[in-house]
Structure 1
């Protein structure tokens, strides 16, 4: 059983990096629009605070989490927006304090969990490492949306390894959520990390494979950029189809992003929806 401490540590580091982006913002900048339609910087942080609260409930209070699931079923597609809206209107200092306290409580809870424990979630149940990876993915992706609003192009780190691995593991989910039958054979995925290391997944002799920068793959599976704007190469029809539908997050198919215009190409990669 893998030790979940490294991914929990990386989740903390990713959260602290985003915290540094927003901690000194004026109220006007908290109100800046992000690439997610209708969402400001405040909505992005409020969403992370809400999902950290949901994750904490899943880890520590099964009854409270079941109540959240019931609310999600009752509200349907508007549930995510409502969760963000609940706190987005708070004074920035109060919202920031709420996000910090929630993620700190989740950090402590994840580190205290017994080995082998699994928790309910909006999709399949999760182990500790999976829960931390999902939170890291969301923190990174929504952090990109915040950075986009602020006109910042954050440098990628090798913390992307967790998101890349999740993107590979959710391949079959992406097919299924689009009403498609997943391929029977695994793909070979070979990604170049920000540090220059090479991350490889799947059988060496797989006839279908995907190659490219790890950053681009993570942008794809979090739907923070359109495939046409990324340097990813697919060999084989199923692998090619995967790059059109990939998503590492739970829920219905995401709407993705439109290809960037010539004017946008000169700026940072645009973040995507939720």
Structure 2
């Protein structure tokens, strides 16, 4: 088979540099292997899903990307530059925002106060310096509305919102404060079907806003609804890596459920045929 030569003067499309790239990253705690040789790419405008059961290494991976822990082997790059983050604040400064499952919100504080928690704007100077509450209220309402969240009262305690709504506020906050990469730790784990759908809609909105999203989940159905890339972890190691074009939902679910191990278990559990003991009349 012959291939056509590229037109004279044409140049190949340049490869996109991932916003975040892990190449063969490993992490050990003494003799315990938490991660071994894990690779992941996160591109702008894409969602990379990391799937695995409890103990698969998902939490350790989050902590490395978020700057809580440093990797022991392999390479961690941010926009092509090798990095070793010393703290979550450094990760934020480099454009990586992590939304944990517990969300780290103050339930009795209003929505607008949680939106700006730790980054409150002020007005005035000297002894007259004070929080710019009006600006925080306006901005919170406008930013939530921009993400499609029409919250009538941003003065209500954030604890009165549903779990899905609180997740959406956290996503909108990360977008507003200039995150380039958004890491979401099991955002739908404790939610019902309807609330999970709401959260996934805003995850897709963050992707459409140009962010690179890392979605940590144990639910292949949720991952396949929005994902562009899939990395499967098992006992701290990679058991698969696929793009959306390379795998179907059924195969992703099968691999997530154990693949060949599940087939072996099915054979073990199949009811054996009852023995023919004869016993007919003489």
TM-score range, shorter chain: under 0.3
Report which of the two has the higher share of helix. Answer: 1
Greater Rg over alpha carbons, structure: 2
Q: TM-score, normalised by structure 1?
A: 0.24
Higher relative contact order at CA 8 Å, sep ≥6: structure 1 or structure 2?
Answer: 2
TM-score for the superposition, normalised by structure 2: 0.23
- Structure number with the higher strand fraction is 2
